[in-house]
A and B are shown apart, each in its own frame.
Chain A
């Protein structure tokens, strides 16, 4: 039988219900007066095992909090039937509104990971009681002023309370039964006829099977099986599709490229190797330990430790299920350092998101797309819940908004790991046992690797809901705790994470040089009914694969068991260089490792770029009326400028506005290493440039993290866009006190469909800029990842392509964190120094976006990074900081000098009086001096007595004293003596804080 336990708040305090009510009203359903939220547990048990008094004991002692909650067992007592009204035990006030009551229950769909159910099951077992299964849910009681329409109810259930991708909403209270137990899998070996197909049929097979392989790749597979004289099995075809997916091998970035651009033709044999990797090779930094080979890039930290860093994207899943997608994004990224070398301890997270503006009108949101506000809330909650539960501080991040992220929000998750210098490499041996540890395998995440390599369309929501995974952070945390001990006891020879492609990729990669035999029926499953292929390619979360010497397997398994983590031997690394798959002793697949890993035909790609391509691509996804609206905003140059007003608008632009609402939801201090926090200043709310932490407790040596991105320039000049991102990342690191000579960077390319030569053309230019920039700044790339095909096809056939988005993430060493700086101005009387020249160009700047400018259609010249001046300036500023000549330092980026100076003042609770005509400039206009976003500029606060030494430290670098910080609380910026901006620091801070200060 099923005991239905319903738990509701006793008193008025109900933050969960209140938050849901706010969201519903934000969607314009004002008739909703109040929402109350409760919890439901469905316990399935044999009454002989669990008589009712025992079920009541579970409810009273375990599930309900007697101080603030009440429970009962049985059908709901909340209201009567939906829409009929009635008294409510939730709250006496609900009765007074006299409106009809609506009840909605939400449950996970069968087969979706339910972490609370798992924990509850364990806790009940701990009480010595027995239940067969548990399902958890939520119940919402909605008090309305008038009867809601069916459409409104659908909106509430589908858009606010439940994500129908993973959850089912039941209007009314049915006391939904626990899922029927899945039938066991009936084994049947499937062969796919491929040898006799023509090209058209090959393409059709690839599409039908969601393999995302092109005709050349299908032909290559066909030729292989013709050669060995048999048809492939389904699992063999899937293994090839996973291993050859864009997500796993980056075939576009590694392709041979024929590029034609404004400066003529150019050919790359292998784009990645010839640009990004080539720069690292040429720089040949002795402190780079392992680059591009492992799951994360590894650099030296101190004499005994190394740090590794990886940034991943999890865009497509986050578009469908923002909460689950982002949570598993961070979960997966954490497993990269855990699977690097012999395994690192995760010590910091970084998260960068790109969304459409949260105030996008609901009518502009295409079918199949979640509203950006919901996406943002879900993504932030997902990262929060997973990262915080893992006990890893989220120390750095950024959020960037553009209309074109509507169908393809970007979610970048990064993780830094700390490891022993002596354990940076794996050494799996023939004969080692293949051990899978952590979570069980389910049907979740099937086809994630191939799905993420394709374009999203409005029907993907339905077709690929099984590609969405639900994370369980505690499973991963438990696994991480034991892995640390297993590594320190030398119980394994190699480790890797089980990410995209599942066991197929993890075992396939680890066994590349050896060969592997896997017995698929030994893999522990969440529920029965998975086919052998599903077991092999499932991307269920929280799993890692180890290669363990046979002699140590027993000790290894016992260690995992001692902390309730599952570890199972599923096969052996053999030495025969073949991948052999069995299911209950039946051979189901056999592929030569050489073909699996080297058989992929090389791509030959055309790429092209002309200066007008970017805006043309940008436009084609817009609705007509939107183009018109943007054009009507084109600035009238005759109009009188109010620069104070312009500054307020810039500070309130989503890209510039305070992200405190997000930052505070992340634990940025766990592990105790925090030395420069993401929020700084006299009220702990100023925008820090980068974060610094000490990964080794007791040591003052630190790691600085920061990032740079500049998608708006990508439409105009992808080469400069990439250089601006590198320069910004370096500036942010320098401003917090990083060692300029010890900066390593990562690339994450998120682009549109790169089989289209115009999209690929901009990527080629950006990759070339990465090469040139890395060499100029002396900052090797140590790892990277790309996510292509970020295009969305709407139901009316428009293609929305994201702006070319290159995220540069930087990691640097800080010799002693007590020398670090923050950006908040420290004392009245200290002078303000501008370092670096301002250029005249405004194209792509935020000023253009906010001041009646040309909106996204900004064209013309962008600012330029000078590859000699940029690094020289960074080095000189870093030297001045190291010599303790600087009291605070701030990077000048979005919104230019006026924004950056204001931020320093209000973060320090001070005023400032400065004449920006004194700032070094090349033929700049008033607008470009105040608001232009020229690269390679820094603001320094300097005690007057140290100016002479600062001048020496900055010799040869354009810099000037422009004014001083004051105790007036006012920001007074002049141009050649004439007042340009005058405003109170508090007023500016308010304008900067309010846009994203959500409840």
Chain B
């Protein structure tokens, strides 16, 4: 079986790297190294050692200018070629929260052809403020390797101020739907669409979109934090419901198993 070596990208202001590496280990990855983006920029070929790249949550470069923008620019400017090679080799990329913002702003998501940079963005929540709250999500895309479409909602926390997905023109949303790139949507506890209603849709995101994948399903980004629900005691109501399976773990496990079977 193939070894699964994961890279958790660090940069100034990234702050969910340790628990993301822990989630990867829990999910069975053989290794989960936390590497600073400066090291990759010095030697982009380092990326080739890994099969699973996670851009974790945090506030890369303080989210100064806009969320994820500066790290996205660094990836575009210095790692574009290495990233293309990585994705073309059938490897996996996961962006969580700030990492999702980075992948979108670097044009790696949604990965529509022709180039998608500047068609989709993540912008300020309708509430105008950062919020940490738990949300229900419906996995919606058949392609998504990490979280294939399912009727059963999963429960994860969001914690962000700029998570509202917006598109440049309505046609972009049609294209996303047509290509089955809407990977997760906000919904209620029973799985019914949030229909834009706060707090089920926590940020006013278009079409309740919480995450996107690329056409091959190998690149997935989402605002909610799967790495914050990999232990039963992380569930906000475990003292009521007992200690059950943690919903976020499957995101990492599916990725690890996919790479294992390649």
Contacts and interface: CB of A to CB of B under 8 A. Distances in A.
Interface of A: 13, 15-16, 18-19, 61-63, 65-68, 115-116, 118-120, 122-123, 126-127, 384, 388-391, 472-474, 477-478, 481, 562-564, 664-672, 674-677, 679-682, 684, 694, 697-698, 700, 817-818, 820-822, 824, 826, 888, 908, 999
Contact of A563 (B12, B59, B61, B118): B12
B128 A116 contact: no
A684 B18 CA distance: 26
Contacts of B214: none
B231 A15 contact: no
Contact of B64 (A119, A390, A675, A822): A119
A15 B236 contact: no
B128 A473 contact: no
B164 to A, nearest CB: 8
B70 A123 contact: yes
A562 B62 CA distance: 19
A122 B61 contact: yes
Contacts of B126: 13, 15
Contacts of B123: 13, 65, 67-68
Chain B CB within 10 A, most for which of A126, A668, A821: A126
B62 A822 contact: no
B22 A122 contact: no
A123 B11 CA distance: 13
Nearest to B120: A67
Contacts of A473: 13, 59, 62
B73 A818 contact: no
Contact of A126 (B73, B168, B236, B240): B73
A115 B64 contact: yes
Chain B contact residues: helix, strand, loop or mixed: mixed
Nearest to A392: B15
B110 interface: no
A474 B61 contact: yes
B31 interface: no
B19 A680 contact: no
A63 B65 CA distance: 6
Nearest to B164: A13
A19 B167 CA distance: 23
B166 A562 contact: no
Interface in B99-145: 105, 118-121, 123-134
Given A390-B15, A669-B225, A697-B18, A115 B132 contact: no
Contact of B69 (A62, A127, A826): A62
B124 A16 contact: yes
Contacts of A119: 61-62, 64-65, 70
A338 to B, nearest CB: 15
Contacts of A564: 12, 38
B237 interface: yes
A675 B234 contact: yes
B36 interface: yes
A15 B23 CA distance: 34
A674 B132 CA distance: 13
Contacts of A820: 233, 239
A473 B240 CA distance: 37
Nearest to A381: B129
B67 to A, nearest CB: 10
Contacts of A698: 22
A669 B62 contact: no
Contacts of A680: 236-237, 239
A836 B129 CA distance: 42
A824 B240 contact: yes
B228 interface: yes
A741 to B, nearest CB: 23
B77 interface: yes
Given A116-B64, A669-B159, A684 B133 contact: yes
A61 B77 CA distance: 11
Interface string B51-65: 000000111011111
Contacts of A679: 236
A826 B237 CA distance: 10
Nearest to A661: B129
A695 to B, nearest CB: 11
B65 A664 contact: no
Given A670-B228, A672-B230, A682-B237, 4 more contacts: A67-B121, A123-B65, A127-B77, A477-B12
B137 to A, nearest CB: 16
Sorted nearest first, the 10 A-B pairs with minimum C-beta distance are A391-B15, A15-B128, A672-B19, A119-B64, A67-B121, A474-B62, A116-B64, A66-B118, A822-B239, A675-B233
Contacts of B12: 474, 477-478, 563-564
B62 A67 contact: no
A452 B13 CA distance: 30
Interface string B145-166: 0000000000001010000101
B74 interface: yes
B59 A389 contact: yes
B125 A15 contact: yes
Contacts of A672: 18-19, 22-23, 227-228, 230-231, 234
B133 A665 contact: no
B16 interface: yes
A563 B36 contact: yes
A388 B233 CA distance: 22
B66 interface: yes
B185 interface: no
19 contacts: A13-B166, A65-B105, A65-B121, A67-B118, A67-B166, A119-B61, A120-B65, A388-B59, A388-B130, A391-B14, A472-B62, A477-B12, A562-B39, A564-B38, A664-B131, A670-B57, A700-B233, A821-B239, A999-B128
B243 interface: yes
B10 interface: yes
Interface string B11-44: 0111110110011000000000000101100000
Contacts of B13: 389, 473-474, 477-478
Nearest to B19: A672
B62 A481 contact: no
Contacts of A118: 64
Most chain A CB within a 10 A radius of its CB, from B64, B168, B225: B64
Contacts of A126: 70, 73-74, 77-78
A826 B240 contact: yes
Contacts of A389: 13, 15, 59, 62-63
Nearest to A123: B70
Contacts of B70: 62, 119, 122-123, 126
Contacts of B159: 388, 667, 669-670
B62 A19 contact: no
Interface in B159-217: 159, 164, 166-168, 204
B74 to A, nearest CB: 6
Nearest to B234: A674
B161 to A, nearest CB: 8
B133 A664 contact: yes
A684 B22 contact: no
A16 B128 contact: yes
B166 A68 contact: yes
B236 A115 contact: no
A15 B70 CA distance: 22
A670 B15 contact: yes
Nearest to A564: B12
Contacts of B58: 391
Contact of B65 (A62, A472, A563, A888): A62
B61 A18 contact: no
